[in-house]
């Protein structure tokens, strides 16, 4: 049986820290910088409105999602990802971070060729490994200089 | 209109048509990539390219909607309802021919109304104060109802997250630094183009990583002769041009509504008003292809008019275009028609050329586009990823923007898996500073929160706008719920 992951609660990994950070920053403004909060001229009036609304909406949707999962039947099948796909996404994101670190050192053409070749290799499920590798390298070697030339000559974009 | 501008519009239309036809690459994503690439260009050339891509993208959506039952853009959702059954009956040429011709007619009707409505709307908007502007920007934010597709709580949560992102950096009124958490990188705020590329482009790359199969459309081949408009077909659908064009433009003119809503509403109206359709709706009625295509292309003129004269986006694509106006130092709004009138008329030209060229490229290039759709995912996904990297780097020649793009790509992926739409985030990032500035000005002018609220109902224009905002949000939610349900039924 294929392993599956339900990512229905994944957005809260971003939203909850954001809400906490907003209130922490507001607290710092009020208590450290002594900026009034409940004054129409205050630069924090809009921030407070957004913070309150965001807290209410995040709490509301979190409760609904927990109830949905609690009931066992997840009606939102889009949130279910197979273990394989999730691994592929995580690997790609790690690869992108490595790419960003390598970009200033190896420059655009070489680092992007590596990124494209590795991604194309990982995504190709149809061929045998040796053909996958050859196709991926050939694709990267043709594509990247072409892109570099088009963007440099046509769009006047100076790539690193 | 110079030859160079003509060329930029033509290339933009061709690129837009191609990208709009590829499932997974929306018109919004195309617009975002195009905006980032044209950042360093002269303003007029950039506008020509962006508007051309907009016209091409909306037209291109119908190509994959008919061939694959997967709309290339959300504005072509309803086109698939009858377009795909027509393709399965062996009438793909007639279906696409009708779709492309209707798109052209829709674009031209929208353009005519844009010419009439633009100056009048600009004059009227000069009467607006801070309260009216605040309500107008809130009206733009009602697009959340469309983008949420039935889940308004999550849509609004995403929008408020976008407002938070828009607040990072300098306060637009007093210049105070907010939410930078001591990092110098955040002092300049989050570059909204990089965030948009992440939320629309990189998110799509991450989504596609899980789908390795390519589309199988080897059986579909279009004949150029077969795509030309036939008198017998035009006789069947001409009435949809008469009401569908003005209806689409009107929907496009409303802040917060665009091609997505226009195509679903037009399809619904076509079902109501067509007494004797060429076939039952849902089984290959030509009226079911013509009505949404006329309306979604007519909405372009409406949405651009609202964006330029009121400074409020009609849909997510015009939200991106609005951002590009700011990048190029243009300030859309009531004074736009006084100070920058020539830009308005140049954009009218760009829409005219873009619509015509999208039609011609649609006739000539549909087979080539179908071949591109057949490209294996292992080639397409890395290609889009590289475009996202180059697009985000090109904004300021800064690797930091590429990192921002990646972060927002991951956020977009996680949000979408959790049922949170990503469109409202972008909309809120762009509209946030406008909403804040007008709200704070109105609060200072009225002297308090309750006087401000009462001024919204005592000022006649404000009251009308307030009613329209509430009505618009409610109606759009209803339309999108019906459209989504219809879509699911058809897919089943």
**What confidence tens digit (pLDDT) does each residue in B3-23 have?**
889 999 999 999 888 888 876
User: Between these two residues, B114 and B141, which has the higher pLDDT value?
Assistant: B114
Best CA proximity match to B140, nearest among B303, B280, B336, B349: B303
List the Cα angle A138/B12/B297 in 5-degree steps.
Answer: 125
How crowded is residue B232: how many other Cβ atoms within 10 Å of its Cβ?
10
Domain stop point among A18, A46, A79 = A79
List the Cα angle A3/A8/A14 in 5-degree steps.
Answer: 115
User: Between these two residues, B213 and B378, which has the higher pLDDT value?
Assistant: B378
**pLDDT mean over A94-114:** 91
Residues A121 and A133 in one domain: yes
pLDDT tens column, A28-75: 988 888 888 888 888 888 999 999 999 999 999 999 989 888 877 555
Both tokens of B476, joined, read 């759009």
Q: What is the DSSP string of B40-76?
A: TS-HHHHHHHHHHHHHHHHHHHHHHHHHHSS-SSGGG
- Cα gap B173→B169, rounded to integer Å: 12
Instruction: Tell me if B382 and A64 make a contact (CB, 8 A cut-off).
Output: no
- Cα gap B265→B249, rounded to integer Å: 12
State how many domains chain A has. 2
- Cα gap B238→B248, rounded to integer Å: 15
Beta strand segments in B159-203, E: 169-170, 177-178
Both tokens of B174, joined, read 């007093």
Residues A18 and A75 in one domain: yes
3-state secondary structure at position A6: strand
Residues A44 and A90 in one domain: no
Look at chain A and count its residues: 160
Best CA proximity match to B10, nearest among B60, B57, B48, B63: B48
Domain stop point among A49, A79, A109 = A79
User: How far from chain centre, in Å, is Cα B382?
Assistant: 25
Residues A106 and A148 in one domain: yes
Distance from CA of B282 to the nearest CA of A (A): 26
- Provide, as residue numbers in chain A, all residues whose Cβ is less than 8 Å from the Cβ of B163: 50, 54
- Cα gap A33→B240, rounded to integer Å: 62
- Provide, as residue numbers in chain B, all residues whose Cβ is less than 8 Å from the Cβ of A46: 167, 435-436, 439-440
Note the pLDDT of residue A68. Answer: 84
Contact A46, B436 (CB under 8 A): yes
- Cα gap B403→B198, rounded to integer Å: 9
CA distances from B429 to B97, B144, B166, B422, B426 (A): 39, 13, 4, 11, 5
Please check whether residue A71 lies inside any domain of the structure.
yes
Q: Helices in B254-340 by DSSP H: which ranges?
A: 259-273, 287-310, 316-327, 336-339
State how many domains chain B has. 1
Q: What is the mean pLDDT of chain B?
A: 83
pLDDT above 60: residue A2? no
Best CA proximity match to B114, nearest among B165, B51, B189: B51
Residues A21 and A37 in one domain: yes
Contact B256, B142 (CB under 8 A): yes
User: B177 - beta bridge partners?
Assistant: B170
Instruction: Tell me if A115 and B157 make a contact (CB, 8 A cut-off).
Output: no
Instruction: Tell me if B160 and A57 make a contact (CB, 8 A cut-off).
Output: yes
How crowded is residue B468: how many other Cβ atoms within 10 Å of its Cβ?
17
Residues A12 and A71 in one domain: yes
Contact partners, residue B436, CB within 8 Å, separation at least 6:
A46, B167, B172, B173
Contact partners, residue B293, CB within 8 Å, separation at least 6:
B62, B76, B79, B98, B99, B100, B102, B103, B106, B263
SS3 content of chain B, % helix, strand, coil (to 5): 75, 0, 25
Please check whether residue A2 lies inside any domain of the structure.
no
Count A/B contacts: CB-CB distance under 8 Å: 176
Contact partners, residue A114, CB within 8 Å, separation at least 6:
A99, A102, A106, A140
How crowded is residue A55: how many other Cβ atoms within 10 Å of its Cβ?
18
pLDDT above 80: residue B262? yes
Best CA proximity match to B430, nearest among B152, B197, B162, B200: B162
Q: CA torsion, points B93, B97, B98, B101, in degrees to nearest 10? A: 180
pLDDT band at B172 (very low <50, low <70, confident <90, very high): confident
Residues A34 and A87 in one domain: no
pLDDT tens column, B249-258: 988 887 766 7
Domain stop point among A79, A109, A125 = A79
Contact B209, A92 (CB under 8 A): yes
φ/ψ (deg, to 5) at B182? 75, 5
Residues A72 and A102 in one domain: no
Range of the domain at B450: 3-491
pLDDT tens column, B116-168: 888 888 778 777 788 888 887 787 777 676 666 667 889 889 999 999 999 99
CA distances from B387 to A151, B40, B392 (A): 10, 17, 8
pLDDT tens column, B34-44: 887 777 788 88
Residues A104 and A136 in one domain: yes
- Please state which of the ranges A73-87, B48-62, B333-347 shows the lowest mean pLDDT: A73-87
B169 membership: H or E segment, kind and range: strand B169-170
**pLDDT mean over B266-277:** 84
Contact B377, B231 (CB under 8 A): no
User: Between these two residues, B24 and A145, which has the higher pLDDT value?
Assistant: A145
* Residue A78 DSSP code: G
- Provide, as residue numbers in chain B, all residues whose Cβ is less than 8 Å from the Cβ of A147: 386, 390
**pLDDT mean over B223-236:** 84
3-state secondary structure at position A81: strand
Range of the domain at A130: 81-153
- Provide, as residue numbers in chain B, all residues whose Cβ is less than 8 Å from the Cβ of A81: 210, 417
Distance from CA of A120 to the nearest CA of B (A): 5
Task: Provide the CB-side half-sphere exposure for A9 (13 A, CA).
Answer: 13
Mutate to test the interface with A, among B154, B378, B454 (most CBs of A within 10 A): B378
Instruction: Tell me if A151 and B37 make a contact (CB, 8 A cut-off).
Output: yes
Distance from CA of B160 to the nearest CA of A (A): 6
- Cα gap B105→B170, rounded to integer Å: 45
Distance from CA of B414 to the nearest CA of A (A): 5
User: A5 - beta bridge partners?
Assistant: A81
User: How far from chain centre, in Å, is Cα B428?
Assistant: 15
Please check whether residue A3 lies inside any domain of the structure.
no
Instruction: Tell me if A157 and B394 make a contact (CB, 8 A cut-off).
Output: yes
Both tokens of B321, joined, read 């275009």
CA distances from B67 to B99, B138, B464 (A): 12, 38, 44
Residues A35 and A64 in one domain: yes
The torsion region of residue B69 among left (phi > 0), alpha (psi -120 to 50) and beta comes to left
Task: Examine the predicted complex and report whether its ipTM is higher than 0.85.
Answer: yes
Note the pLDDT of residue A1. Answer: 45
**pLDDT mean over B366-377:** 78
Contact B110, B248 (CB under 8 A): yes
Instruction: Tell me if A45 and B440 make a contact (CB, 8 A cut-off).
Output: yes
Best CA proximity match to B193, nearest among B369, B447, B363, B408: B408
Residues A69 and A93 in one domain: no
Nearest to B419 among A13, A76, A126 (CB): A76
Q: CA torsion, points B435, B440, B441, B446, in degrees to nearest 10? A: 120
Task: Provide the CB-side half-sphere exposure for B207 (13 A, CA).
Answer: 22
Both tokens of B59, joined, read 């037209």
Mutate to test the interface with B, among A12, A155, A156, A158 (most CBs of B within 10 A): A155
CA distances from B305 to B57, B116, B266, B310, B351 (A): 18, 10, 20, 8, 11
3-state secondary structure at position B157: helix
Residues A26 and A47 in one domain: yes
Contact partners, residue A4, CB within 8 Å, separation at least 6:
A80, A81, A82, A83
- Provide, as residue numbers in chain A, all residues whose Cβ is less than 8 Å from the Cβ of B444: 40-41
């Amino acid at each position: 049986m294929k392993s599956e992951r339900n990512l229905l609660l994944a957005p809260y990994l971003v939203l909850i820290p954001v809400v906490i950070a907003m209130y922490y920053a507001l607290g710092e403004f009020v208590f450290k910088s002594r900026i009034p909060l409940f004054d129409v001229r205050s630069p924090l009036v809009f921030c407070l409105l957004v913070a309150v609304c965001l807290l209410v909406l995040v709490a509301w949707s979190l409760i609904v999602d927990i109830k949905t999962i609690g009931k066992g039947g997840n009606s939102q099948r889009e949130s279910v990802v197979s273990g394989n796909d999730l691994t592929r996404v995580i690997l790609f994101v790690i690869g992108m971070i490595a790419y960003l670190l390598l970009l200033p050192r190896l420059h655009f053409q070489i680092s992007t060729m590596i990124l494209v070749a590795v991604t194309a290799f990982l995504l190709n499920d149809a061929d045998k490994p040796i053909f996958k590798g050859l196709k991926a390298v050939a694709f990267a070697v043709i594509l990247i200089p072409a892109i570099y030339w088009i963007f440099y000559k046509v769009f006047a974009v100076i790539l690193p | 209109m110079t030859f160079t501008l003509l060329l930029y519009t033509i290339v933009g239309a061709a690129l837009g048509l191609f990208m709009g036809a590829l499932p997974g690459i929306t018109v919004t994503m195309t617009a975002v990539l195009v905006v980032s690439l044209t950042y360093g260009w002269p303003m007029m050339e950039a506008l020509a390219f962006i508007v051309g891509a907009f016209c091409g993208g909306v037209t291109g959506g119908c190509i994959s909607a008919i061939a694959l039952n997967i709309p290339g853009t959300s504005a072509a959702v309803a086109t698939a309802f009858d377009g795909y059954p027509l393709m399965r009956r062996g009438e793909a040429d007639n279906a696409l021919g009708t779709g492309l011709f209707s798109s052209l007619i829709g674009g031209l009707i929208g353009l005519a109304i844009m010419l009439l409505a633009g100056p009048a709307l600009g004059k009227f908007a000069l009467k607006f104060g801070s309260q009216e502007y605040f309500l107008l920007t809130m009206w733009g934010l009602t697009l959340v109802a469309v983008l949420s597709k039935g889940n308004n709580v999550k849509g609004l949560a995403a929008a408020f997250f976008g407002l938070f992102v828009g607040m990072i950096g300098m306060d637009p009124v007093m210049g105070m630094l907010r939410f930078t958490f001591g990092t110098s990188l955040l002092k300049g705020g989050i570059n909204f183009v990089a965030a948009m590329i992440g939320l629309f482009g990189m998110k799509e790359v991450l989504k596609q990583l899980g789908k390795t199969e390519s589309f199988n459309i080897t059986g579909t081949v279009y004949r150029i002769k077969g795509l030309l408009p036939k008198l017998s077909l035009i006789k069947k659908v001409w009435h949809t041009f008469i009401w569908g064009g003005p209806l689409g433009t009107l929907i496009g003119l409303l802040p917060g509504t665009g091609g997505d809503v226009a195509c679903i509403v037009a399809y619904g109206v076509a079902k109501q008003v067509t007494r004797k359709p060429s076939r039952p709706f849902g089984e290959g009625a030509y009226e079911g292809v013509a009505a949404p295509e006329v309306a979604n292309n007519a909405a372009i003129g409406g949405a651009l008019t609202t964006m330029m004269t009121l400074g409020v986006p009609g849909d997510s694509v015009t939200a991106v275009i609005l951002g590009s106006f700011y990048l190029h130092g243009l300030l859309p709004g009531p004074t736009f028609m006084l100070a920058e009138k020539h830009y308005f008329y140049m954009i009218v030209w760009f829409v005219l050329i873009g619509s015509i060229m999208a039609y011609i490229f649609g006739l000539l290039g549909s087979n080539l586009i179908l071949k591109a759709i057949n490209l294996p995912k292992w080639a397409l996904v890395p290609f889009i990823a590289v475009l996202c990297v180059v697009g985000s780097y090109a904004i300021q020649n800064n690797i930091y923007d590429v990192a921002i793009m990646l972060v927002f790509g991951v956020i977009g992926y996680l949000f979408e898996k959790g049922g949170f739409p990503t469109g409202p985030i972008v909309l809120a990032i762009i509209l946030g500073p406008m909403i804040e500035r007008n709200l704070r000005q109105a609060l200072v002018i009225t002297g308090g929160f309750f006087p401000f609220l009462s001024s919204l109902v005592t000022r006649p224009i404000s009251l009308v706008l307030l009613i329209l905002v509430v009505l618009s949000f409610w109606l759009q939610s209803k339309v999108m719920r019906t459209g989504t349900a219809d879509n699911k039924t058809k897919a089943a």
